[in-house]
Amino acid sequence: MIRNRIAEKSSRRGNARLAWSLLAILGAAFLFSFARVAAKEVSALTALQDATASAPKLAGHWQLNKDQSDDVRQKMQAARGDSGGGGERGQGGRNGEGRAQRAGMMDELQTLAIDQTGSNVKVTGKSGRVLAQYPSGDSTAEKNAGPEGESQRTTTAQWQNGQLTVVTQSPRGKSTRTYSLSPDGKQLYVTTKMENERFKEPLTYRLVYDPVGSSSD
């Protein structure tokens, strides 16, 4: 009888210890899961704060300074390897469409309007077309703006080293465009690098902008 009672007490103690052990394990698992979620939230918040801290103030209306900007046509001829400057002259069809598209884009880049709140920024061209946006939003406008066959084009934007970097990937190649301020903060630099099958080497050119209303030297 006494032995049975002792055995029952030992069993109850063992069950209690097992229950406490299970509760401890469940509690540890919950805390670990909570810590992981909290760490992700802190990481995301830190990334946002870093982007905001490193984002220069690009906001304003900007006018192209042609005298200080690169000659895009000359740069393009060099990238294609054209010695006489007439590599596409007289050719129709797809090349003609490409020339028209580039002419339209260069006209779009004559003036820029940049709206910015913290690290959130939107760049629009002369006609109001969205050229860049961070955080990256709906890219439908970008897709529809391209010629037929470029519907697979994707665009991403991020802040890198104090400049807004926009990367566009399409079946024809890759384009990287950065928006940054000049060292004295008085001008806007827009640098474009294009890599595709039409060029023998990457095409890189820089456009320089003055704030609207200012007089250039």
Count of structural domains within the chain: 2
| In a shared domain, residues 96 and 202 | yes
Please give the pLDDT value at position 140: 40
| In a shared domain, residues 108 and 201 | yes
For residue 178, the 8-state DSSP code is: E
Please give the pLDDT value at position 23: 79
CB atoms within 10 A of CB 102: 13
| In a shared domain, residues 43 and 106 | no
| In a shared domain, residues 96 and 182 | yes
**Is residue 217 situated within a structural domain?**
no
What is the Cα–Cα distance from 85 to 87, expressed in whole angstroms? 6
What is the Cα–Cα distance from 11 to 123, expressed in whole angstroms? 73
Please give the pLDDT value at position 116: 96
| In a shared domain, residues 134 and 30 | no
- Strands of the sheet containing 111-117, edge to edge, are 130-134, 120-124, 111-117, 60-64, 203-211, 188-196, 173-181, 163-170, 154-160
Backbone angles phi and psi of 106, in degrees to 5: -65, -35
Please give the pLDDT value at position 80: 86
Please give the pLDDT value at position 194: 94
**Is residue 12 situated within a structural domain?**
yes
**Is residue 20 situated within a structural domain?**
yes
| In a shared domain, residues 74 and 173 | yes
**Is residue 162 situated within a structural domain?**
yes
| In a shared domain, residues 47 and 63 | no
Q: Which domain holds residue 161?
A: 57-211
In order along its 217 residues, the chain shows pLDDT tens digits of: 665 555 565 666 667 777 777 777 887 777 777 667 655 554 544 444 555 556 889 999 999 999 999 999 999 999 888 755 444 444 444 555 556 566 677 899 999 999 999 999 999 999 999 999 999 764 444 444 444 444 578 999 999 989 999 999 988 899 999 999 999 999 999 999 999 888 889 999 999 999 997 655 5
**Is residue 216 situated within a structural domain?**
no
